[in-house]
Structure 1
Amino acid sequence: MIAVFPSLATRAADAVEEMDRPDADLQRLERTYAQFWLVNAVVSGWRRNYVRYLRPIFAASGGGTLLDIGSGGGDVPRCIARWARRDGFALEITAIDPDPRAHAFASALPALPGLSFRQAYSSELVAEGRSYDVVISNHMLHHLAPAELLALLADSRRLGRKLCLHSDIERSRWAYALFSVGTLPFFPGSFIRADGLTSIRRSFTAAEIAEVTPQGWQSLQQRPWQNLLVYPPFARGDDRRAG
């Protein structure tokens, strides 16, 4: 089966995900947003990120502020809002996405205390002089051109007072094979399977992301098949990868 898969030796940086197309079918797109929570719950590792990286920061002051860049359907910030409330933290989350379709979908979901959505780029918040205790993104880095990636990380450092944490998929033949097989019977009528496979093809390996990571940032490999970019470098390097 793996023999018929496309070569993953190099990034498919020019591949385009269907949901990113301006003329994407709106019904399929909204179904994709609605199904993101399940995919992210299985593969993105944000519960682990919350416990390891975010919760200690919020615990120190009883709460704080968080910015999620490229929030898509809003499932990740909604999970973080629930975890923080369960832990008794007074956390204010701002989730931004420049795509009006993503913003409309996320904004239409039932409100959660402390969570707000905004249609914006990170550069707009920098221009406004905004700042947050924590800045995060989920599965966004592979969407960016090299100059856009560096601009995002520069914006993050200006916006984040205590921690910047960007999580993305790591390109791997095993990741591609398992996602291809595991999603085959599921997610009808959405872009989840096709775009997920394209995302893996577009993503960085651990070595590639470490090579483009600017000085001062730390590149970590988190299993299975996740890359993290962290600023400032994380002291407890139990899953550390040189960056």
Structure 2
Amino acid sequence: MDLRQRDTRLQELMDDPGCDPRVLDRTFRRFAVVNALVSGWRAVWRTHVVPALPPSGRARVLDLGCGGGDLARSLVRWAGSDGFSLEVVGVDPDERAITAARRSTARGVTFRQASSTDLVAAGERFDVVVSNHVLHHLDDDARAAFLADSERLATGRSLHSDIRRSRQAYRAYALASPLVSAGTFVRVDGLRSIRRSFTVPELQEVLPAGWTAERAAPHRVLAVRDA
């Protein structure tokens, strides 16, 4: 497997509008397990989100491309444990994702079928804007628009987390994913995601001025911008 360059020709199975809806639903549900194991967001919450919260400890956070909603729910749970009060809005333009996200409710979290452009047009503003596993899905034009919208929506920090492509990440996921992928797209799409994802220098090269690409564990890359 040649991982020296991004393979942007690959399409993830769940991105197919005609994919099996039952398998897709199981995939959204399984993301809560997969992301807890591989996304590193618990550490990112402490190192990158908490320092960006207002001094009052009360904040409005936007999760762009929220998928099944597990990150939005986790942020509210961690905030409560650490003495903060968050209102988290999770948005996704895919109706299937929002349907899955709304099946599990959490106090302080709302889900909407919307794009970042819709929110900009509506004049929405948030203290912190985040996303997980979105950047590698986007082509150059879509990524530029997504990041520009993120800048307009965030009064404080924009923080987008994604996979950091490497042989080690690919091998580790190939070995571990069968344990949680039965009946889902998790294994195939995860491996394709790694092949589509950025290294830190690659991401820094395509980020607009004012953004910084950072390395994070495990096998993660962050795009960060402070307003």
In which range does the TM-score fall when normalised by the shorter chain?
over 0.9
- Correspondent of 1:182 among 148, 157, 176: 176
- Asked if 1 retains the 8 angstrom alpha-carbon contact of 2:76 and 2:85, the reply is no
Residue segments in structure 1 that go unaligned for 5+ positions in a row: 1-5, 234-243
Write the distance in 2 (CA, Å) between the matches of 1:57 and 1:157: 15
Q: Residue 68 of structure 1 aligns with which residue?
A: 63
Alignment correspondent of 1:236 = none
Partner of 1:11: 6
Deviations 1:90-112 (A, max 9, x none): 21110000001000010121x21
Structure 1 runs (4+) deviating above 6 angstroms are none
- Corresponding residue number in structure 2 for 1:239: none
| Aligned residue in 1 for 2:27 | 32
- The Cα of 1:196 is off from its aligned counterpart by 0.2
- Which of the residues 42, 46, 50 maps onto 2:45? 50
2:76 to 74, 81, 100: 81
Q: How far 1:59 sits from its partner (Å)?
A: 6.2
Q: What is the rounded CA distance, in whole Å, between the counterparts of 1:57 and 1:180 in structure 2?
A: 35
| Residue of structure 1 equivalent to 2:189 | 195
SS in 2 for 1:32: helix
In structure 1, the residue matched to 2:142 is 148
Measure how far apart 1:132 and its partner are: 0.3
User: Where does residue 119 of structure 1 map in the other structure?
Assistant: 113
Partner Cα separation in structure 1 for residue 180 and residue 83 of structure 2: 36
* 2:207 aligned with 1:213: yes
List per-residue Cα deviations over 1:116-159 (Å, max 9, x = no partner): 00000000000111100000000110000011111111001100
Aligned partner of 2:155: which letter?
R
> Contact 1:218–1:232 at 8 Å: present in 2 too?
no
Task: Among all aligned residue pairs of Structure 1 and Structure 2, give the percentage whose two residues are the same amino acid.
Answer: 45
2:216 is matched with which residue: 197, 222, 226?
222
Pair 1:41-2:36 in alignment: yes
Paired with 2:134 and 2:212, the residues of 1 have a C-alpha distance of 17
Q: What is the TM-score normalised by the length of structure 2?
A: 0.96
Question: Aligned letter for 2:221?
Answer: N
Partner of 1:138: 132
Aligned to 1:240: none
Contact between 1:65 and 1:93, CA under 8 Å: does it hold in 2?
yes
C-alpha contact 2:128 2:157 (8 A) present in aligned 1 = yes
TM-score, length-normalised on structure 1?
0.90
- The residue type paired with residue 194 of structure 2 is I
Q: For the residues of structure 2 that align with 1:49 and 1:147, how far apart are their CA atoms?
A: 27
